[in-house]
Amino acid sequence: MRIEILCTGDEVLTGKIVNTNFSYMAQKLEDVGLSVHWGTTVGDDRESLLAAFKLAGERADAVIVNGGLGPTVDDLSQEIAAQAAGVELVLHEEWLEKMESFFTRRARTMPPNNRKQAMLPATAEMIDNPVGTACGFAMDIGKARFFFTPGVPRELRKMLEEQVIPRMLARSGAPASIHLKRFHSYGIGESHADQLLTGIEDLDPEGGVKLGFRAHYPQLETKLTVRGTDMNDVHRKLAPIAAEVKQRLGNFIIAEDDQTLEGVVLAALLAKQATLAVVETFTAGQIAARIAHLPTAEHVFRRGAVVRHFSELHNVFGLKSVALAGEMTEEATIAVAKAAREQTGASHALAVLIELDEGSDRIDLGGTIWIGIASPEGVDFRRSRILGGREWVRLGAVELGLDCLRRQLQGLPVVERIDFEKT
Amino acid sequence: MRIEILCTGDEVLTGKIVNTNFSYMAQKLEDVGLSVHWGTTVGDDRESLLAAFKLAGERADAVIVNGGLGPTVDDLSQEIAAQAAGVELVLHEEWLEKMESFFTRRARTMPPNNRKQAMLPATAEMIDNPVGTACGFAMDIGKARFFFTPGVPRELRKMLEEQVIPRMLARSGAPASIHLKRFHSYGIGESHADQLLTGIEDLDPEGGVKLGFRAHYPQLETKLTVRGTDMNDVHRKLAPIAAEVKQRLGNFIIAEDDQTLEGVVLAALLAKQATLAVVETFTAGQIAARIAHLPTAEHVFRRGAVVRHFSELHNVFGLKSVALAGEMTEEATIAVAKAAREQTGASHALAVLIELDEGSDRIDLGGTIWIGIASPEGVDFRRSRILGGREWVRLGAVELGLDCLRRQLQGLPVVERIDFEKT
């Protein structure tokens, strides 16, 4: 099935907003085994919209149109869709009533211009939007089935996943059930992971499992798209391959599916009824900022300390016994973590202390990262070095610090070589 | 002049990466008074590329093609451009030598497949890429002038600004000089700013100044695009209008052009030889993370403290004189700021303490934000309330805290009503 995406709106065309809806839609389609073949962006302009609808209707089998369903005069999708298909706009009473009750429930009166949102092309099949007033719809233009979706990301996402993708899958003749399994890892580069997982797709002799990656430094997402006749079939195919992925990526897997690294760390701390203190230098508060604001973190997060000079750690923790003025040492790192634990009363203390190279920012500027974790089980230490400029070092150190804490909490080795470090 | 942008590459088409190059190019063109009329995205696929080049060559006067200039087999832009124009690919000796010296300077030997990057269509005008091996070029396809640019953002940006835009402006017959002046503000919504600046364009009777906005909560960017016969003419037109914008937006302007709020705060602290301590709660380290990692911040940033419970502030600062266990008060906020200043030895202390509403996240969940600043000039206090859900409150509180500090450092009123607060 040849699929196109057509994004409309002056804000997208002028670059005033970055078009994240496009990549979102394309990824969601990829995840269920469908591929986008062509993307078009046009503004709120009658002539361009008509030309774009006609071109896509000649080339594609299915087209997702995004945007232009709002109540204002520059929202033109229904009008131009009707024109492109040579049909009239008709009032959709069902949607009008729905909008009126939408406003009534919010104790407001529906403005008259919202009525426009219930005007759909005569041949349109209505697609429900449970979270907004923009009515989605599907209709044929040329040889393609067009799916019209709202520009508001929250409304788009719900409609795409619950309404549009099932309709597209039905048309594509794809198997009835598709499932996306995701593994998030830290410490393995995309090509290394690709190599570690060689041949994994062949473990399903029926070819129902597809492997893919999405790298967003410092994390890597490994994706298994599984197709089957029903969900039982999908899970039967997925189970041995997911087990093999876990085996091969091992301790580097930090989270699965919708989990995050910080969410996994927080859950592990909550499960132990543990509390956390964090000491940071060049990461500048970013480690605390990943975890301390999350719901339920108020039960776990005890205290964070940020300094830019090791000597300041003396003042924070009264560390008279350890020389901190000069270079960092393993002994000093451990002393900081232990002092943070004792003085805050937290069960776990994470110290991430960074010696940044001298000089201005450059691609080979590096940082030496000293990590100490004090816990009821004792003390863990790790020293690492990351190159790649100030931001690269900072992002890497935030992730490395959180990942060392995850490993400690899960009883895994805190020291295990990662692809990004140069030691 | 009718302009199109054509983005190529499987990573963009499949949504594996978000297409920020498109919005970057569209904005840069808008900033010099040029408008994009149509956007196309296709993959690394011969048939689609050829069709896209031909369609754009029929519709447009100028086309920017992004991507596909690399050394690998899936980089097809030169080959398909030659095919679309009906010309041969020829080896560009000048670029080959440039690439070889590029590798030599890095003590590496050029891999043989890089030679492909010096093969350009016979009619192409070479466009220099001083920061990479992908050679840019311009040529006619159909009735349009095509500009081929690299997909690597850093290379694209340099080539677009220094080479492509001047060529496009020359072709468009636009005035010789164009300048973009930007004002960043915090606390005024886009429609309010639009209203405050009504009629500002008319202050240049020749119509050479265009006003625009770009909102990215919590900040707003106000843009003046000025066209003139030369830079003297541009500055003559800009001066009175920029002065008027400053007058009307007043204390809400936090930075200009490439400046940032945190950069302005850091520079003001450096200029006073001042030092900074920060105390945070629900912002969770994000205020420190905006400023403490910046170059030169090591001279200014003394210490950051993050807690999630007010009662923990007792332990951090030994505040026995103030009751902190219950609700926050003005007295307690001031006591925290003063204690942070005294105990860290910093000249300035910023405390941003948040009472978040109870219950799960929702659109009308709010937070009460208590801000105290202790400095050699005394103590400033501000209480504010922001609604809009957890992330909205958190982002708003980070910005509000930093902006209060900016106001204190610049001798402006710390308390001035903003559009986002509900008090």
Q: Which of A256, A281, A311 is the last residue of a domain?
A: A256
Q: Which of A240, A256, A272 is the last residue of a domain?
A: A256
With contacts defined as CB-CB under 8 Å, which chain A residues touch B390? 293, 295
pLDDT grade for A179, boundaries at 50, 70 and 90? confident
Q: How many CB pairs below 8 Å do chains A and B form together? A: 197
> CB distance B25–A38 less than 8 Å?
no
For residue B413, say if its preceding peptide bond is cis, omega within 30 degrees of 0. Answer: no
For residues A35 and A102, membership in a common domain is answered with yes
- The domain that contains B186 carries what CATH number? 3.30.70.2860
> CB distance B312–A292 less than 8 Å?
no
Q: Are strands B125-127 and B219-228 parallel, antiparallel or unpaired?
A: unpaired
**Residue A78 to residues A6, A70, A99, A117, A385: CA-CA distances in angstroms?**
14, 10, 17, 8, 57
> CB distance B298–A283 less than 8 Å?
no
- The model's pLDDT over B79-138, given as tens digits with 9 standing for 90+, comes to 999 999 999 999 999 999 999 988 888 778 888 888 999 999 999 999 999 888 899 999
Q: How far is A308 from chain B (nearest CA, A)?
A: 6
**Residue B68 to residues B10, B21, B50: CA-CA distances in angstroms?**
10, 14, 13
Residue A326 has pLDDT above 80, yes or no: no
Go through B393-405 and write b for each residue having 16 or more CB atoms within 10 A of its CB, e for each that does not: bbbbbbbbbbbbb
In a domain, B75, yes or no: yes
Q: CB neighbours (10 Å) of residue B171? A: 12
- Which pLDDT score is estimated for B108? 81
The Cα B187–Cα B406 span in angstroms is: 13
For residues A240 and A302, membership in a common domain is answered with no
Q: How far is A360 from chain B (nearest CA, A)?
A: 8
> CB distance B18–A20 less than 8 Å?
yes
ipTM attached to this prediction? 0.84
Test the B interface: residue of A308, A317, A350 with most B CBs within 10 Å: A308
Q: Which of A195, A222, A256 is the last residue of a domain?
A: A256
| Mean pLDDT on B313-337 | 79
For residues B387 and B368, membership in a common domain is answered with yes
Q: Give the type of residue at A1.
A: M
Test the B interface: residue of A210, A306, A312 with most B CBs within 10 Å: A306
> CB distance B289–A284 less than 8 Å?
yes
pLDDT grade for B322, boundaries at 50, 70 and 90? low
For residues A251 and A326, membership in a common domain is answered with no
| B306 vs A14, A303, A316: nearest CB | A303
Q: CB neighbours (10 Å) of residue A417? A: 9
**Residue A230 to residues A128, A241, A344: CA-CA distances in angstroms?**
25, 17, 53
In a domain, A374, yes or no: yes
- The model's pLDDT over B141-178, given as tens digits with 9 standing for 90+, comes to 999 999 999 999 999 999 999 999 999 998 988 666 88
- Residue B3: both structure tokens together: 């302009």
With contacts defined as CB-CB under 8 Å, which chain B residues touch A287? 285
For residues B185 and B321, membership in a common domain is answered with no
| Mean pLDDT on B310-314 | 86
For residues B303 and B380, membership in a common domain is answered with yes
For residues B67 and B146, membership in a common domain is answered with yes
**Residue A285 to residues A277, A279, A336, B283, B293: CA-CA distances in angstroms?**
12, 9, 16, 10, 9
Domain, as residue range, for A206 = 177-256
- The model's pLDDT over A368-421, given as tens digits with 9 standing for 90+, comes to 999 999 999 999 999 999 998 999 999 999 999 999 999 999 999 999 999 888
Q: CB neighbours (10 Å) of residue A126? A: 15
- Residue A419: both structure tokens together: 């692809």
For residues B214 and B314, membership in a common domain is answered with no
In a domain, B337, yes or no: yes
> CB distance A40–B40 less than 8 Å?
yes
- Which pLDDT score is estimated for B105? 82
- The domain that contains B295 carries what CATH number? 3.90.950.20
- The model's pLDDT over B15-67, given as tens digits with 9 standing for 90+, comes to 989 999 999 999 999 988 899 999 999 999 999 999 999 999 999 999 999 99
For residues B47 and B135, membership in a common domain is answered with yes
In a domain, B341, yes or no: yes
For residues A317 and A399, membership in a common domain is answered with yes
- A136-140, A187-191, B238-242, B367-371, range with the lowest pLDDT: A187-191
Total count of domains within chain B: 3
With contacts defined as CB-CB under 8 Å, which chain B residues touch A316? 303
In chain B, % of residues over pLDDT 70: 97
Of the two residues B278 and A326, the one the predictor is more confident about is B278
Question: Which phi and psi angles does B121 have, rounded to 5°?
Answer: -55, 145
pLDDT grade for A313, boundaries at 50, 70 and 90? confident
For residues B105 and B192, membership in a common domain is answered with no
- Which pLDDT score is estimated for B423? 60
pLDDT grade for B325, boundaries at 50, 70 and 90? low
In a domain, A421, yes or no: no
Q: Are B274 and B348 in contact (CB under 8 A)?
A: yes
Q: How far is A117 from chain B (nearest CA, A)?
A: 24
pLDDT grade for A129, boundaries at 50, 70 and 90? very high
- A83-87, A343-347, B99-103, B143-147, range with the lowest pLDDT: B99-103
For residues A339 and A360, membership in a common domain is answered with yes
| A306 vs B36, B43, B292: nearest CB | B292
In a domain, B380, yes or no: yes
- Which pLDDT score is estimated for B323? 58
With contacts defined as CB-CB under 8 Å, which chain B residues touch A344? 315
Q: What is the DSSP string of B146-207?
A: EEEE-SSHHHHHHHIIIIIHHHHHHHHT--SEEEEEEEEEES--HHHHHHHTTTGGGGSTT-
> CB distance B285–A306 less than 8 Å?
yes
With contacts defined as CB-CB under 8 Å, which chain B residues touch A288? 284-285, 306
| Mean pLDDT on B227-234 | 89
The closest alpha carbon to A65, from A118, A132, A144, A133, belongs to: A144
In a domain, A297, yes or no: yes
B269 Cβ neighbours under 8 A, 6+ residues apart: B275, B276, B300, B348, B409
- The domain that contains B104 carries what CATH number? 3.40.980.10
> CB distance B390–A295 less than 8 Å?
yes
| Mean pLDDT on B372-378 | 97
Centroid of chain to Cα A57:
32
In a domain, A110, yes or no: yes
- A81-90, A200-209, A313-322, B326-335, range with the lowest pLDDT: A313-322
